[in-house]
Amino acid sequence: MHIAKQLMAIPGVIAAGEYAYRGDRYTYEGGLTDEQARMASILCRANTLNVSMQAEMFSSFAEHCGCRPLQGWIVRGKQLSVCAVGNFFCLLENRQGVLNDVMTVMRAKVGDISDNVMQVMYSKIGGDVTEQLV
Amino acid sequence: MDLAKLMEVPGVMAAFTYTDKGDLTGQMIKEGNELTPQVLDLLAHTCVANMAVATMEARGWEALTGQKGFEPLQGFSLVGLDWSAVVNGNCGVVVKNRDADYEAAFAAISACTA
Amino acid sequence: MSLKRILVLDGVIAVCRFQDDGTILEGEGVIPAEMQGRLAQFAQWYRRMVAGNTDLFSLFSQMRGWTPAKGWIVHGANMTVCNVANLVAMVDNREASLNEIMAALEHASHE
- The torsion angle over the Cα atoms of residues A97, A99, A101 and A107, rounded to 10 degrees, is -150
| Domain boundaries, position B92 | 3-113
Asked if omega into B37 is within 30° of 0 (cis), the reply is no
Residues C28/C4, Cβ–Cβ less than 8 Å: yes
**How confident is the prediction for chain A on average, in pLDDT?**
81
Residues B81/C68, Cβ–Cβ less than 8 Å: yes
Query: Is the pLDDT at A111 greater than 90, yes or no?
Result: no
What is the reported pLDDT for A134?
37
In A62-91, which ranges are continuous DSSP H helix? none
Total domains, chain B: 1
Query: Is the pLDDT at A98 greater than 90, yes or no?
Result: yes
pLDDT 10s digits, B12-49: 999 999 999 999 999 999 999 999 999 999 999 999 99
What element of type H or E holds A129? Answer: helix A129-132
**How far does A132 lie from chain C, in Å, by closest CA?**
8
Partners of residue A57 in chain C, C-beta under 8 Å:
42, 45-46
- Can you give the CATH number for the domain in which B43 is found? 3.30.450.30
* ipTM (interface pTM): 0.86
Q: Measure the CA–CA gap between C103 and C9, rounded to whole angstroms.
A: 11
Q: Measure the CA–CA gap between C63 and C50, rounded to whole angstroms.
A: 17
Q: Is the dihedral of CA B58, B63, B64, B65 positive or negative?
A: positive
Alpha carbon B94 to chain centroid distance?
8
Partners of residue C49 in chain A, C-beta under 8 Å:
49-50, 53-54
Every domain of chain C and the residues it spans: 3-43+73-109
pLDDT 10s digits, C64-79: 999 999 999 999 999 9
**Nearest-by-Cβ selection for C20 from A43, A50, A133:** A133
> What are chain A's domains?
3-132 (3.30.450.30)
What are the backbone angles phi and psi of residue C109, rounded to the nearest 5°?
A: -70, -20
